């Protein structure tokens, strides 16, 4: 049975299905794996923003908004890397991101440049929203007080990132078109989360 999100969380993140509560318990058991996956999530967020800038140099607002985000996400990568080092843990190898790959499958095939741009922005919005929701879970559910505070910082820092990508989409494309597509993405992501295996070794 679906567990309803609080109105506050729904208003902030737009997500239609919360993370399974069991995930935090599994994540705590596999904290080394979570830190490694988290590090790569931050690294990929930074490099994806760089790629978006490279592909859309004519979109001045996008360039201006994503440039500082690159710095922020890379700073987060370094923070997680420092936490691993403090624990005498290696970074480890990057893993296949099943969640992101599943999102990519929902992109419109054969659409025009506007369709592709909208989906690129909304995929990033969903990833940021789900990451923030997971950080919130960790900040509230971990037994380790230090790690709760550690993830509270990430949750607060990343809470507004998803709206940035939606706002960018709406700046360049008609708002009604973006909102209609966003509703489709939210429905798809809910089905994806509902059917996904609950794994404690991944942020997503």
CATH 1.10.3720.10 at 28-195, yes or no: no
* Torsion angle, alpha carbons of 9, 13, 17, 23, to 10: -80
Residue 9 has pLDDT above 70, yes or no: no
Task: Specify the range with the lowest mean pLDDT, choosing from 49-53, 58-62, 155-159.
Answer: 155-159
Residue 125 has pLDDT above 90, yes or no: yes
Q: Is 93 exposed, middle or buried (0-12, 13-18, 19+ CB in 10 A)?
A: exposed
pTM of the model: 0.91
Per-residue model confidence as pLDDT tens digits over 81-120 = 999 999 999 998 888 889 999 999 999 988 899 999 999 9
| pLDDT of amino acid 113 | 94
Per-residue model confidence as pLDDT tens digits over 14-34 = 799 889 889 999 999 999 999
| pLDDT of amino acid 188 | 97
Say if residues 35 and 83 touch (Cβ distance below 8 Å): yes
Q: DSSP 3-state assignment of 39?
A: helix
Residue 156 has pLDDT above 90, yes or no: no
| Average pLDDT across the chain, whole number | 91
Choose among 2, 77, 97: nearest CA to 35.
Answer: 77
| pLDDT of amino acid 86 | 96
Choose among 23, 49, 40: nearest CA to 120.
Answer: 49
């Amino acid at each position: 049975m679906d567990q309803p999100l609080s109105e506050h969380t729904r208003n902030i993140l737009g997500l239609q299905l919360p993370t399974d509560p069991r995930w935090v318990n599994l994540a705590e058991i596999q904290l080394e794996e979570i830190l490694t996956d988290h590090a790569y999530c931050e690294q990929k967020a930074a490099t994806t923003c760089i790629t978006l800038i490279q592909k859309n140099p004519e979109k001045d607002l996008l360039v201006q908004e994503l440039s500082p985000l690159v710095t922020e996400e890379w700073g987060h990568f370094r923070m997680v890397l420092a936490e691993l080092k403090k624990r005498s843990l290696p970074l480890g190898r990057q893993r296949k991101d099943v969640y992101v790959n599943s999102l990519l499958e929902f992109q419109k095939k054969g659409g025009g440049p506007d369709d592709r741009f909208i989906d690129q922005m909304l995929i990033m919005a969903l990833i940021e929203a789900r990451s923030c929701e997971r950080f919130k879970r960790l900040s509230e559910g971990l037994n380790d007080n230090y790690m709760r505070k550690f993830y509270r910082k990430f949750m607060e820092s990343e809470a507004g990132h998803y709206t940035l990508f939606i706002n960018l989409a709406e700046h360049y494309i008609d708002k009604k078109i973006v909102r209609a597509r966003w509703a489709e993405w939210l429905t798809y992501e809910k089905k994806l989360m509902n059917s996904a295996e609950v794994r404690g070794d991944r942020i997503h």
